[in-house]
Structure formats: structure tokens, C-alpha cells
Structure 1
Amino acid sequence: MTEATTVPPGSAPPAERSSGPHGGRVLALLLLGHFMAILDVNIVNVALPTLRADLGASGSGLQLVVAGYVIAFAVLLITGARLGRLHGHRRAFHAGLAVFTLASLACGLAPGTWWLVAFRFLQGAGAALMSPQVMSLLQRTFTGAARGRALGLYAAVTSGGVVAGQIAGGLLVSADLFGAGWRTVFLVNVPIGALLLAAGPRVLPRDEGSRDGGLDLPGLLVLTPAVLLFAVPLILGHDLGWPAWGWVSLAAAAVLLPAFVAVERGVAARGGRPLISGRVLRAPGLPLALAVLVFGPGSWGSFLFTTTLHLQGDLELTPLQSGLAFVPCVATFALVGLTWSRLPERWHGWTIAAGFLLAAAGYAVLGPLAGGGVPYEVLTGVIGLGLGVLPIVMTAALRHVPADAAADASGLLLTMMQLGQVVGIATIGTLFLTLARDGGSTRHAEYATGWALAASALIAAVPALALARRTR
């Protein structure tokens, strides 16, 4: 294996790189790293009951194990992209991969719940630095039809990795390798990460970075506490009896929101690059897409969290069985992703609304199915078919964004998708855990949660309808 050829900043890579064997190794390395980052959003879900029994974790502790990763991933995603631009995408990818791999090892060896929560935040930070570099390196390495194939595989990994996490988690926990139980869902990243770190310097193309723009540290220093002050009391409140500090925290988050807007305007006025650009937000249809991406993925993240607990709760499925229950979701989600572009363009916007209405119908029958009967595989297939429209939301949102602002717009949309999951887990997940604790039955909790999930999907359908009219 020879050293990768240096690619000067801003120059196009040689066309032959995309067709040679070296290009295949670049593609495999980048997509495997990205797949690990996406997989770890939900791979821990199936392990939650086992983790709770082993560590004695509370319901809020379980929520933070899941949401902590997503919070760090979402808040730092745009900053991670900026670091790649400033210091070189290859260097940033390796740094993020190293942090992610070491944090995975720490998660797998965590002696208690709160250690695990802390390491999950660190793992999410590593993913936020690693993942944004993948798209940039793919664009620099491949040209023409090869670039199209590479980006298609990237999209498939992004959409399929979330659900694949459920299946992989079930397989690993059921295998109970070396008696490690739930710890294997984290430790599996360590040998893979070490292999990628060893191969990366010899495979990935060099780039020197650019000093154009900056990090927007003021925006980051306001946004991060705002998200934490909002999410943490919602997650911890039900276990602690909704203490006064929780309400103070929520009020402080509400104050920091307009402060963040003011800081971003100040950064733009000084000629800097704010995390969230007003120019991007003014693009036709983009604010509506952001609203869709809060409530749609919010329902999805909380559905995976709560349904996994129910499948291994009152329905007494094994981790493997509960993971396999989501296999049809992968198939139907992929079906939509592979076929929607064949529809006439005037139908795209209406397809988004129809998808969320279908997902809402699937969520609404969670209650009747909570006691068993119709296999959950049917239900997850319906919901996956509905939520498969999420890639169409991204396309519709970016249609009128200027080319030089597309990277920032894409980062903002991905950030909102992750924050939507945090909100869903913090609110609907709390509802489930509170009802399961009070009633002692996950069946009762699942019944009520289904209506909350249906409401979230219906709310997402409203701006989706407006987006259809705006972007047609």
C-alpha cells in the first residue's frame, strides 16, 4: 500500500483515483468510519434492559446514555465541519476517529451509569469531528459517475445505519461474547477503529486546510449550555420529582435562545461565519424543513427507545428478537430511498406529508398491538415506509440554497435531525418511563406513548404540507 497522493486545497482530484483500487480503499475506510458513528446513535437501545440490570441504572440514566451521544453529536457537528476546513479533512477525520475509538473503549469498561454517560458525551464529540469529513473527502477523491456512486453509498449508510444499530445491538448482546453482555456494543468499535487509524494515513488523500471563515466559538459557547439546560431537566425530572432547579434550568434555556440569535447576528456583522447563518435560514422552504426535522426524527428516536423497552419488558423478547423486529423497517426505509427520485418532481413535497401521515397511522396502532397479537415486524415496516421520506425533506430544503452555502445548510439540517431525536427521547421517553414506573406495566406505557408519537408525526406533516406548496 503506497502513500496517498497529496491533493492541493481547492483542486480537483485526479479522475483515475476514483476507478483504481486505491479509490475503493478510500471509500471503504470512510464509509466504515461513518457507519460506526451512525450505528452508535441507536446500537445501545437493545442493550438498555441488560444495562439497567447490570449497573442498576435509573430511567433517566438510560435516557442520558442514549441522548448524551446525540446531544454532543448534534451540537458539535457544524463545528467539526469547520475544524476540517481549517486544519484539513484528513487530520480532522483521524482526530475524531481516535477520540471516538478511545471513548468506545471507555464506555465498554465503564464501572457505573454516570461514567458511561460521560463517556457517551465524549464518544459523540468524536463522531461530530469525524463524520463531517467523510462527505468532503469523498467529494475530493471521486469524480464523475464514481462520485455519484460513492455519494449514493454514503446516503445508504447514513439512512440504514440508524436502524442497523438496533439489529447489531441485539446480535451482540445475545452473543454475550466473553461474558461481556451489553459492553460489547461499545467494545466492537475498538478493533475496527484501531484498524482504520492504522490504515488511514496511508490511504486518505492529504489536504492542508483553509483559513477561510472560523469556528464561531461565541455561538458554540451559547448553544451548548442552551441545549443542555433544556434536555437535562426533561430527562432527569421524572426520577427526581421535578425539582425547582429543573424549572430554573428550562427558564435559563429559554433566555439563552434569543441570546444565541443575538450572538450569531454579531458574528455575521463582524464578517465571521456564524453556526447558523441568516442567509441560509432565508432560503425558501428551509425553515419549514427544519420544523419537519424536529418532529419527524423526534418521533423516530423516541419510538426506538420506548418500543425496545416494551419488547423486552412485558412482551419478554430477547435482545436479538427485539432487534430483529426492526428489520422490516430497514427494508421499507431503503425502498423509499431507492425509488422516490423516480416520481415526478411535483409529487415530492406531497410525498413527504403522506409519509408522515402513514407513520402517524402506524404509531396510532401501537396501543392495540401492545399486548402482542399482530407481529411488531408489520408495524415497524409501516413506520419505516412512512419515515423513509426523510431524504426527500433534505432534498427539498436544499433546492433553493445558494451553492456556496450548501455545506452550512446541510450541517444545519443534520444538526436539527439529531436535536429532534434528543427532544423526542427527553419528552416522549420520559412519558413512557413515568407511566411504566407508576403502572408497573410497559404495555400501559406503550399504549399512551403511541398516541404521543402519532401526534408528533402529525405535527411534522403540517409544515411538510406547507413545504410541498412552497417548493413545487
Structure 2
Amino acid sequence: MTQTTDLPGTVPDRGPRNGPGRLMLALLLLGQFMAILDVNIVNVALPTMRADLHASGAGLQLVVAGYIISYAVLLITGARLGDIAGNRRMYHLGLAAFTVTSLACGLAPSTWTLVGFRFLQGAGAALMTPQVMSMIQRNFTGAARARALGVYSAVIAGGIVAGQVAGGLLVSAGLLGSGWRAVFLVNVPIGAALLLAGPRLLPADRGPRGGRLDLPGLATLSPAVLLLVVPLILGHELGWPLWGWASLAASAAFLAVFAAVERRVAAGGGRPLISGRVLRAPRLAVACAVLVLAPCTWAAFLFTTTLHLQGDLGMSPLRSGLAFVPCVTAFGLVGLSWQRLPARWHGRAVPAGFAVAAAGYLCVGPLADGGPRYLVLTTVIGAGLGVMPVVMTTALRHVPAEDAADAGGLMLTLMQIGQVTGVATVGTLFLTLAGDGGSTRHAEYGTGWALAAAAVFAAVWGAALARGGTARAAGPGT
């Protein structure tokens, strides 16, 4: 088994329940929460944004998609920059960029300036968020690391839903007549507070640093991700044009070129953008498959269910967002409490959790009435998907701490691609079944089966992950 190496300054078996570790984790995860929140917080504000800025449909699409595109494309680069220049330094730099561009978005005078600032805001988030997982990996060990990853997963899941709720609250409140601008301006005081607290709470960067960014790898991986993400985000709205399919094919070609370039960089004694040592880490490849499939079902479930709640059931955006609170609560409780199970059950929890989620998805259509039974059903689905921290803990357990940036950037990118893919594929199925003015209740049946199938595949990969070893809470140095 590959042993992780605790770097100088590591907090031995310290976690979110203890003073310094708790404050450090809270600061890191609040930055992560803001970045995830901004993926969806804009959705509820689009109607008022259209009226105020006289925005076109294409402009509104890019306001939403611009952030996601630059975020997904630059995550791995952000992770490597943290490894080169220091995680704390890059976290602060990314947070500052995110805060400043949030202010710029909130003050944008036109649609296209807003689109430009959204791309820059996504770039700031891509620089900031990979440092969170890297600093958890470097500064927490054993059971403390597992607890921290549980909170981390809950923040990611909760941030997606909270974006819809917060967007509804902020737009409805109309603070000082800010309207849609409030969904961006809310980041400014929070970001400023984190920037002031960061130097006091985050540990200084230690250990060997330096080196060069793998520019050939960056020049081939970035377009590969871009060519994959853009058609997935815009494909349905544009009727899946020919250029979208060509873009997907070009993405595969760029990935093949990227693999060849990385082999050449490694053979020449350089350090590839994604270390081969990381890719060879035991169980990481299997875990990555799960980390694509599970967010795929989660994001698609939130997307399609929101459309149903606001469609046939006539709920307001705010009420539909609040309807997911029990689901997210169950996700978080499972993620934080799985370590209390006997150690021999930890590996089995992953396939069991996704099997539970699959069974829940099958019942989405029959129970899609928004009543108490539906809330119980969504809670069951959230509990099943709550095993995500077990997957991440298992994967990172075999990754040396010096490779934390590479592993973190890779996993975050795959999770983001999984979410975008889920919305693009299952979301398209839902909209096709619903048709123009059709029943979203009918569409829920078909998407429920699709989500169940994806969850079954996640369970199969989860079983393979379990056969390779459990995610037990190991002691320092493990």
C-alpha cells in the first residue's frame, strides 16, 4: 500500500471538532461553498436580469454557462499552481479574484460585460477551490481527514441546492433595490472577511515548492475539457447542432494528444500536469468512475425535479428549492456519520448507498406529487448518495500528500464534468419527454429510470472499489 507522507505543519488526527482545525476547515469550506453556490444562484435571477439588461436568450445562457466553462477547464491548472506556488497563497489569490469579479458582476452595466466577468469569476473559483482538497489532504490525517471530507462533500451537495434557495431569497428581498445584482454582491462581504481571516487561520505553505507549470499539457488539456463541456452545456438549447458533435469528437482527439504529450514530458524528466504516480494510485481510477457517475445523477435529479416542482406542481423557485432541504440534510448526515459503522462495513457502504439511491430513483415517477411521501423519497435518495465521502476517503488514502494537488484537481474536474453531463443527457431526456407544454409528471417516469441505471453503474464500480480495500479511518501517516 502506498503510504501518504505527512508534511511539516500537518495537524495530526485533528478535525473539524477541534479549535484550530475547525476554524481552518470552516474558512476553506466557506470559500468552496461560495464557488459551488454561484453555479446555480444565478438561475432564479434570470427573469429579472432579462428585463433589466434587455438580455437575449443566448446572453442569459452564457451568463450561466460562462462560469461553469472556465471553472471546469481551469480546475486542474489551479491545482497544479497551488502545488507550485503554495496552496495558501493560491487560495487567497483565487478568493481575491472571485471576490473582485463578484463585485464586477454585481455592477455590470450590460449583458456582455456580465458574461465576461462571469468567465473571470469562474477562473477565480478554479484557482481557489482545488486548494481546499489539497489543504485537507496535507493538514488532516486519519479519522480527522475522513470527517473533513464528509463535511466537504456535504458542502458541495448543499451548495448546489442552496444556490436555488439563496437566489430566490435575495431576488425576492430586493435589498436596496439591487434586484438580480444581489446574487453576486452577497459574495463581496463574505469574501472580504475570509481574506482578512485567512492569514491568521490557514497554515503557512511549507515543504518543497517551485517548479514549472506544464505548458504543453495545459495547451492540450484545456481545449480538451473546453470542447467537451461547451456542447454539453449549450447543446440542448441550440438543438444539438453539428458543431456540437464535432466538438465532442475533437475533445477525444485532444485527450489522446494530451496523453502523448504527458508521456513525453515525463520521459524528459519534467513533471506532467497530471502526475502518472497519481493515475497509478491504487483504487483512484475506480473511485474516479464513481465520482463521475454519482454527481451525474445528483445534478440531473436536482435539475429535472426542480423543473417538475415548478412545472406541473406550480411551486415558486423559493419553495422548490426549500423542498430539497431534507434531501441535502440526509446527504450530510450520512457523510458525517459513516465512520461510526463497524470498519468491516465501510467498503460495503458504497455499493449499498448507490443501490438505495437507484431504488429511490425508480420511485420518482410514481411518487412525483410533492407531498410527504415525495419528501421522504428524496430524503432516501440523499441518504444513499451520502456515501460520497467514503469514495473520496478511499481514493485519497492511497495518494501521497505531495500529490494531493494533482488528485484533488482531477477529482474536482471529473465531478464537475459528471454534473454537466448529467444535466445535458438526463435533462435533455426529461425535456424531450415533457415536450412543449407537456406533463412533467410523465417525464419524471423516464428520467427516474435513467437516473436509476446510472446509480446502478455507480454501485457496480463502488463494489469494485470495496474489493480493493475499505476507507477505514487510518492513523497519521496512512
Q: Would you say same fold, with TM above 0.5?
A: yes
The SS at the match of 1:369 is: coil
Structure 2 counterpart of 1:345, one-letter code = A
Question: Which moved further from structure 2: 279-288 or 132-141?
Answer: 132-141
Is residue 2:322 matched to residue 1:324?
Answer: yes
CA 426–466 in structure 1, closer or farther in 2 if over 3 Å, else same: same
- The counterpart of 1:91, out of the listed 89, 92, 97, is 89
| TM-score of the superposed pair, with normalisation by structure 1 | 0.83
What is residue 9 of structure 2 aligned with on the other side?
12
State whether residues 166 and 326 of structure 1, in contact with CA within 8 Å, keep that contact through their aligned partners in structure 2: no
Matched residues, percent identical? 72
CA 256–150 in structure 1, closer or farther in 2 if over 3 Å, else same: closer
CA shift, 1:391, in A, is 0.6
CA shift, 1:208, in A, is 7.6
1:105-184 alignment, distance < 5 Å: 105-110=103-108, 116-134=114-132, 157-158=155-156, 160-184=158-182
CA shift, 1:168, in A, is 2.7
Aligned residue pairs total 462
State whether residues 295 and 420 of structure 1, in contact with CA within 8 Å, keep that contact through their aligned partners in structure 2: yes
The SS at the match of 2:237 is: helix
For the residues of structure 2 that align with 1:316 and 1:177, how far apart are their CA atoms? 26
For the residues of structure 2 that align with 1:322 and 1:277, how far apart are their CA atoms? 42
CA shift, 1:327, in A, is 0.8
CA shift, 1:143, in A, is 9.7
Is residue 2:414 matched to residue 1:416?
Answer: yes
For the residues of structure 1 that align with 2:30 and 2:179, how far apart are their CA atoms? 24
CA shift, 1:62, in A, is 6.4
What is residue 449 of structure 1 aligned with on the other side?
447
Higher relative contact order (CA 8 A, sep 6+): 2
| TM-score of the superposed pair, with normalisation by structure 2 | 0.82
1:186-265 alignment, distance < 5 Å: 186-201=184-199, 204=202, 206-207=204-205, 210-265=208-263
* Structure 2 unaligned residues grouped into runs of 5+: 1-6, 471-478
CA 393–28 in structure 1, closer or farther in 2 if over 3 Å, else same: closer
For the residues of structure 2 that align with 1:20 and 1:348, how far apart are their CA atoms? 24
Structure 1 counterpart of 2:186, one-letter code = V
The one-character-per-residue Cα deviations of 1:107-155 (angstroms, maximum 9, x if unpaired) are 3345666654543332221112122334555678889999898777556
Structure 2 counterpart of 1:427, one-letter code = T
The one-character-per-residue Cα deviations of 1:407-433 (angstroms, maximum 9, x if unpaired) are 422332222112211211222223334
CA shift, 1:224, in A, is 1.7
The SS at the match of 2:271 is: coil
CA 183–428 in structure 1, closer or farther in 2 if over 3 Å, else same: farther
CA 60–316 in structure 1, closer or farther in 2 if over 3 Å, else same: farther
Is residue 2:453 matched to residue 1:461?
Answer: no
For the residues of structure 1 that align with 2:464 and 2:138, how far apart are their CA atoms? 36
For the residues of structure 2 that align with 1:370 and 1:314, how far apart are their CA atoms? 10
CA 400–188 in structure 1, closer or farther in 2 if over 3 Å, else same: same
Question: Which moved further from structure 2: 57-66 or 207-216?
Answer: 57-66
For the residues of structure 2 that align with 1:429 and 1:59, how far apart are their CA atoms? 18
What is residue 382 of structure 1 aligned with on the other side?
380
1:49-68 alignment, distance < 5 Å: 65-68=63-66
What is residue 355 of structure 1 aligned with on the other side?
353
For the residues of structure 2 that align with 1:141 and 1:285, how far apart are their CA atoms? 22
Question: Which moved further from structure 2: 223-232 or 75-84?
Answer: 75-84
The SS at the match of 1:368 is: coil
For the residues of structure 2 that align with 1:20 and 1:463, how far apart are their CA atoms? 35
What is residue 290 of structure 2 aligned with on the other side?
292
What is residue 431 of structure 1 aligned with on the other side?
429
For the residues of structure 1 that align with 2:341 and 2:257, how far apart are their CA atoms? 43
What is residue 5 of structure 1 aligned with on the other side?
none
CA 244–48 in structure 1, closer or farther in 2 if over 3 Å, else same: same
* Structure 1 unaligned residues grouped into runs of 5+: 1-9
